[in-house]
Structure 1
């Protein structure tokens, strides 16, 4: 039996015991407010039984309900709210139709109320803790419901004690209880209805999912991101643009995003990723430059500069040349990996290098980001591009050739 079901059964037992002792005390004392409280506990008993049944049913999946019956928890939360409203109605009717009488055996009433307050307070704290731990809306609703009993019991206790001094506050206390009952019912009703109407998941969850998706190197754009609650679980849906035209690769990337989201965020039932390949209007080539900014550096991570050359789709002549300073040249470790990650952030499509770094850090960075590495034996960038059938004019004026001294995470 799951922890949530055990808590629900404990709530059933507690409410049954509270109804018995409150109703017995109401008969012994003649208190309208205490009798109302007994029926309130009876309503709690029905609610707890409904909670337990809902927890059992919500785990099932059938052909008719392939996405599960998780929303039964939220439906039951709404039912609990209606039960709470009915309990309030019963209290009002009791106040309106009963003639007040002098209370008898006040000591019994006081003892029963003190015991009830202690039990309900401790149990509501325990149930709230468990509901947050397992993210169960129905247990959270039930905990809020039981918490109102502490307040209503306290008000009835004040009325009973006042009766000892000749003040008849029994009916007033009963009506005040109704206010607490109604407030709790409204809160639970709104919360359950929001989920049943597929209101969006909370902003914090969507922000975490967005961060995970955008940190995936192959994701070029996050077009839409939506989510909904279903019981204690969340369903996420995203439309993304990927830097790959390989369907198998795209499927693998989507699976990886789904795993990362489920690993980092609790109670995610499903992550549905719609992906499409990037329609490249430009292609960006990168290569490491030596200190003279004219020749290709034989060392990738230790190159002082990187040249970025942009070509418009369908053209063979370069549209733009940028030279980036390598901010990691003086870093003691992982220069190559950091430099590779810098180029990934700058949306590079191809990297030209003089030395193959298979099985090294930069290779895995580029492979994971679907960046093709091209080996060249040329010394000069223009000759390397010429071999690829591309034309680059490196004899640009100072205004045309842009040298960018950037922070590692900023793309100008």
Structure 2
């Protein structure tokens, strides 16, 4: 009845290699779509087989329980269809209405499957509570027992198959399908346990086991929903991706620093990034433009993402600017909520000079917009108090990169 994880991975790889051309190239959108289609078809096949077997036997022996479980498998078929449609729609090319493609459809299909899992959990708890309030004897039926013993390894294998592929291609939809199949294993196991207890005693544990399994199903559904909703709401990007982008940008010999990095997720494999690159002010603009274009192209090709870089010229080699940056840096140490500062420059002549720069406050600092504005004013007042010959223009930024 148990499936060894190592052998399961071997079987998954064997099936994938037989049905998906160039299966190792998961960065390719078409290959990724084929993974999703294969997984959905496997779910369709397994659940349809169980549906036909259980429905036929249920009608033959006149068992409502077996027929009910048959239609539960039919509901799982609908989840596989939703996943299949989600993968097909998410890979549609960009159009006028959706210039960044339809990748988020995959998140929506995962959310819909998660909602189905949640509904199953709620209904299971509801039925189980009624069974606790009004206990009914559970009759042991050998045929039902055998059917469930056959269904468990099939559902368990399907769960591992979907989870392995979901992890490989980072698909929330397939992870949800894997969790759905695993929940079926829990349900079948609880029914088998109840049948075994009823065969050897008069104790009814049916309702209590059902409540426990229902709670487990709801818990998994809520976690799946959270994992699916987060990217739709705009979750913080992967820190490793952020580090890779900054590292690749700084390989360009004219880029001195990177800030205001924003990553937009339009679905798996469909990402747009933008950031500000600090460049020397005294290099010809056409040279800088060419270097920035080369960097955009290099990052885009290596990471398969759309890149936009904004240039921020820096005045380098100025003793006055260097000195001003040093004392501003020292003053900012008295403001622990400030993570860093950038775009530092001095404008004006004579006594009419302004320090202009941005400060960065990370999102883990819980502070209102009003307090953010006051923070900028407090820093400005402190700088002017210590160095009255300067005025200040301070912009307060948030760190959208998450690190």
TM superposition shift of 1:49: 0.9
CA distance in 2, matches of 1:274, 1:24: 66
Match of 1:73 in 2: 106
Map of 1:204-215 to 2, 5 A cutoff? 204-215=240-251
- Structure 1 residues 251, 178: closer, same or farther in 2, change over 3 A? farther
Note closer, same or farther for the CA distance 1:29–1:174 as it changes in structure 2 (3 Å cut).
farther
- Give yes or no for the alignment of 1:155 onto 2:190: yes
**Structure 2 residue aligned with 1:41:** 73
Contact 2:280 2:316 in 1 (8 A): no
Q: CA offsets per residue over residues 149-195 of structure 1, 9 Å max, x none?
A: 22332222212222211232222332222112101110111111111
CA contact (8 A) 1:59 1:69 kept: yes
| Helix, strand or coil at the partner of 1:219 | coil
Match of 2:29 in 1: none
CA pair 194-259 structure 1, distance change in 2 beyond 3 A: same
Provide the C-alpha distance between the structure 2 equivalents of 1:223 and 1:55, rounded to a whole number of angstroms: 35
User: For the Cα contact (< 8 Å) 1:235–1:269, is it kept in 2?
Assistant: yes
Residue 188 of structure 1 aligns with which residue?
224
Gap change, CA 1:31 and 1:65, over 3 Å in 2 = same
Contact conserved, 1:15 with 1:44, CA < 8 A, in 2? yes
In the other structure, the counterpart of 1:132 is 167
Aligned-residue CA RMSD in angstroms?
Answer: 3.0
Distance 1:111 1:229, change over 3 A: farther
Which secondary structure state, in structure 2, belongs to the residue aligned with residue 199 of structure 1?
A: coil
Q: 5 Å matches for 1:284-323?
A: none
Residues in 1 aligned to 2:213 and 2:51: alpha-carbon distance in whole angstroms: 16
Aligned to 2:274: 237
SS of the aligned residue for 1:62 comes to coil
Give 1:103 deviation, angstroms: 4.3
Per-residue deviation, residues 290-342 of structure 1 (Å, max 9, x unmatched): xxxxxxxxxxxxxxxxxxxxx889xxxxxxxxxxxxxxxxxxxxxxxxxxxxx
The structural deviation recorded for 1:55 is 0.8
Contact 2:110-2:176 at 8 Å conserved across structures? yes
CA distance, structure 1, for counterparts of residue 111 and residue 228 of structure 2: 5
What is the count of residue pairs matched by the alignment? 282
Higher helix proportion (structure 1 or 2) = 2
Q: Which residue of 2 aligns with 1:59?
A: 91
Of 39, 49, 71, which aligns to 1:7? 39
Q: Check conservation: 1:36, 1:90, Cα contact below 8 A.
A: no
- Distance change >3 Å, CA 38–CA 180, structure 1 → 2: farther
Cα distance in 2 for partners of 1:94, 1:147 equals 20
Q: RCO (CA 8 Å, sep 6+): is it higher in 1 or 2? A: 2
Counterpart position of 1:389: none
Instruction: Assess, with a 3 A threshold, how the Cα gap between structure 1 residues 216 and 35 changes in structure 2: closer, same or farther.
Output: farther
Once the two structures are superposed, residues 200-245 of structure 1 have per-residue CA deviations (whole angstroms, 9 ceiling, x without a partner) of: 2222221222222223322111022122333212332222123474
Correspondences of 1:371-390 after superposition (within 5 Å): none
Secondary structure of 1:224's counterpart equals strand
- Post-superposition offset of 1:104: 4.7
Other-structure match for 1:82: 115
1:254 aligns with 2:292: yes
Are residue 141 (structure 1) and residue 142 (structure 2) matched? no
Aligned partners of 1:3, 1:22: CA distance in 2, in Å? Answer: 29
Question: 1:43–1:84: 8 Å Cα contact kept in structure 2?
Answer: no
Please name the residue that 1:117 is paired with. Answer: 152
Larger radius of gyration: 1
Q: Provide TM-score, normalisation by structure 2.
A: 0.61
CA distance in 2, matches of 1:281, 1:273: 20
Provide the TM-score with structure 1 as the length reference.
0.60
8 Å CA contact 2:125–2:215 kept in 1: the answer is no
